[in-house]
Amino acid sequence: MRRRELLIGGLAMLAGGPVLARAKSDVFSSPLCFFHTHTSETLEVACSDKGIAINQRQAVNHFLRDFRTEEITTMDESLLLQLAELKRRVGNQGGVYEIISAYRSPKTNNMLRGKSKGVAKKSYHLQGRAIDVRLRGTAISDLKNAAIAMQDGGVGYYKRSNFIHLDTGRVRAWG
């Protein structure tokens, strides 16, 4: 590690913050591949244990927008790391996540609440902190079990609709 990287890391630690410096050898190792079930759009982004490449975050936010209203928010980076870790745990690194729902505008969330009792008034989807997915090539029950074992937020299991809900809220599970 070069002197400059050590200095930046040391200063960040003294300030009580995370070490933001990234070594040049840090290689993005596992792509996140997405297919949006409502728009038929696809997206592939580089991902490492440190997150999504900075130059790809805008594309991710656009892809995971509220497809009904076209509103965009900043998706929680922790949620994207959950998706990457989940793929690793189920051994499906090349799998494609099918996106059912990600960010929801208040207008969309209210509309969905009017149609279903299962939509929360203060849904994490409203904050860009939740996503409903399935992973091609992985049984939904296996995906659910691996997500619950991660103990890294909320996991909802929707067997009839064949998807799971992930969020970055407190650890809990339902369905």
CB count in 10 Å sphere of residue 66: 20
Q: Which CATH number fits domain 31-174: 3.30.1380.10, 3.30.300.30, 3.40.50.720, 3.40.630.30?
A: 3.30.1380.10
- Tallying the residues shown for the chain, one arrives at 175
∠ CA 92-36-98, rounded to 5°: 25
Say whether pLDDT at 54 is over 50: yes
More confident residue, 13 or 73: 73
pLDDT tens track for 102-116? 999 999 999 998 888
Say whether pLDDT at 5 is over 60: no
The token pair at 77 is 């980076």
pLDDT for residue 120 = 87
CB 47 within 8 A of CB 32: yes
pLDDT for residue 13 = 37
User: Can you give the residue ranges of every domain in the chain?
Assistant: 1-26, 31-174
pLDDT for residue 136 = 97
Q: Which residue has the tokens 């969309």?
A: 108
pLDDT tens track for 58-102? 999 999 999 999 999 999 999 999 999 999 999 998 899 999 999
Say whether pLDDT at 19 is over 80: no
Half-sphere exposure of 47 (CA within 13 A, CB side): 25
More confident residue, 140 or 47: 140
Q: What is the DSSP string of the chain?
A: --HHHHHHHHHHHHTT-------TT------EEEEETTT--EEEE-EETTEE-GGGHHHHHHHTS-TTT----PPPHHHHHHHHHHHHHHT-TT-EEEEEE----HHHHHHHHHH-TTS-TT-GGGGT-EEEEEETTS-HHHHHHHHHHHTSSEEEEETTTTEEEEESSSSEEE-
Mean pLDDT, rounded, for 26-43: 84
pLDDT for residue 72 = 97
Which residues, in sequence order, are CB contacts of 10 under 8 Å at separation 6+? none
Say whether pLDDT at 21 is over 60: no
pLDDT tens track for 116-172? 888 888 999 999 999 999 999 999 999 999 999 999 999 999 999 999 999 999 999
- Find, among 137, 146, 141, the residue nearest to 158 by Cα: 141
Per-residue confidence band for 48, with pLDDT thresholds at 50, 70 and 90: confident
Say whether pLDDT at 23 is over 70: no
